[in-house]
Amino acid sequence: MLAIGMKACFNGAMLKSKAIELLGGSVAAAAEAVGISYQAVTQWPDELPDRIAERVIGVLAKRRFPAFAAEVAAPGPGEAKASA
């Protein structure tokens, strides 16, 4: 049952307007949140392709679950931490 509900929630495409709303309500806030330029966000199509929608969802998940995001990003045993 849960799988059916999840499929219904994520089956449709994400709209640019909804993504901007979720990321702070302005093009500038969305661009900063995703780590891209203002101009790049203005060029998003009205219906976001999966690759952009997944970046938006990733940012939202990282905000909602910061401890989990840090745990996932942490290097495992024997792995070197990536340099920025």
pLDDT in tens, the chain (84 residues): 334 433 435 557 899 999 999 999 999 999 999 999 999 999 999 999 999 999 999 999 999 887 877 777 777 776 666 555
The secondary structure of the chain in percent helix, strand, coil, rounded to multiples of 5, reads 60, 0, 35
**What is 12-67's CATH topology?**
434 Repressor (Amino-terminal Domain) (1.10.260)
Burial degree of 75 (CB within 10 A; 0-12, 13-18, 19+) = exposed
75-81: list long-range contacts, CB under 8 Å, 24+ apart: none
